[in-house]
Amino acid sequence: MEVIIQSSPERSAALAAKMVARLVREKPDAVLGLPTGGTPVPLYAELVRLHREEKLDFAKVRTFNLDEYVGLASDNASSYHAFMRGHLFDHINVQAKNIHIPDGMAKDISAACNAYEEAIRKTGGIDMQLLGIGTDGHIGFNEPSSSLSSRTRLKTLTDKTMHFNQSHFAPGQKVPRYAITMGVGTIMDAKQCVLLASGSAKASVVQQMIEGPVTAMVPASVLQMHPRTTIILDDDAAKSLRLKDYYRFVYGNKPDWQRCE
């Protein structure tokens, strides 16, 4: 696990975007795993800029989103389908046939989850999985106590997650109790994972994820076991790390060929 500390969320997003851009330029048909929420918004804005100003080409890129609410149609303004269109897909040249997001309206959720797993396998697997982290340590909608070998499935959201996500819904609109999410095991199958976290509200769980034990009660902690994971933090999210000075030293003294920049 590589830990990189940046001075701001914008610098973190720019660094992550450079990593994505390098992959896409080296492998034009790369498979990207994509998150939603507030954390990746600056990252997506930077990818849009790279596409417009530096001609970063997404024509052959395949994408798989982490999750979607059950009961929300793709045209619902609070759906993750709508989120991705608004923040990324409508602004780059990704092909609609190459976009995959769980179907929140699936009649047979179990079959839809199995089909999602099969679709990932048919592409050869996810090359880079982008992630955020919840204040309780969840990745995707894998809430605390989720199996660390789980696959794409239906999950019941905690009251804490529902309360936190309420701001993304219109007044009077309830956050759905259920969601379809890639499993922890599905995420761990990705060839590379890149997790971003920013803000002091994430500091405690970031410390648990990086320096605490691997536990299902902090699902993101399983990334300690991934062979190629990069954690990109701003100063506020990194403030509780016991070894933050060491992480800064390691990254600051990497040889040029090993750096992300």
CB atoms within 10 A of CB 184: 23
pTM for the model stands at 0.95
Check 2, 136, 211, 236 and give the catalytic one: 136
Check 68, 103, 127, 143 and give the catalytic one: 143
32-55 residues labelled b (16+ CB within 10 A) or e (exposed): bbbbbbebbbbbbbbbbebbeeee
CB 142 within 8 A of CB 155: yes
pLDDT in tens, 195-233: 999 999 999 999 999 999 999 999 999 999 999 999 999
CB 184 within 8 A of CB 142: yes
75 is catalytic: no
What whole-number distance in Å separates Cα of residue 166 and Cα of residue 183? 23
Check 46, 51, 67, 226 and give the catalytic one: 67
136 is catalytic: yes
Domain range annotation of the chain: 2-258
Name every residue whose Cβ is closer than 8 Å to that of residue 26 and which is 6 or more positions away in sequence: none
The CATH code for residues 2-258 is 3.40.50.1360
Cα Rg, the chain, nearest whole Å? 17
Check 51, 81, 100, 138 and give the catalytic one: 138
81 is catalytic: no
pLDDT in tens, 16-74: 999 999 999 999 999 999 999 999 999 999 999 999 999 999 999 999 999 999 999 99
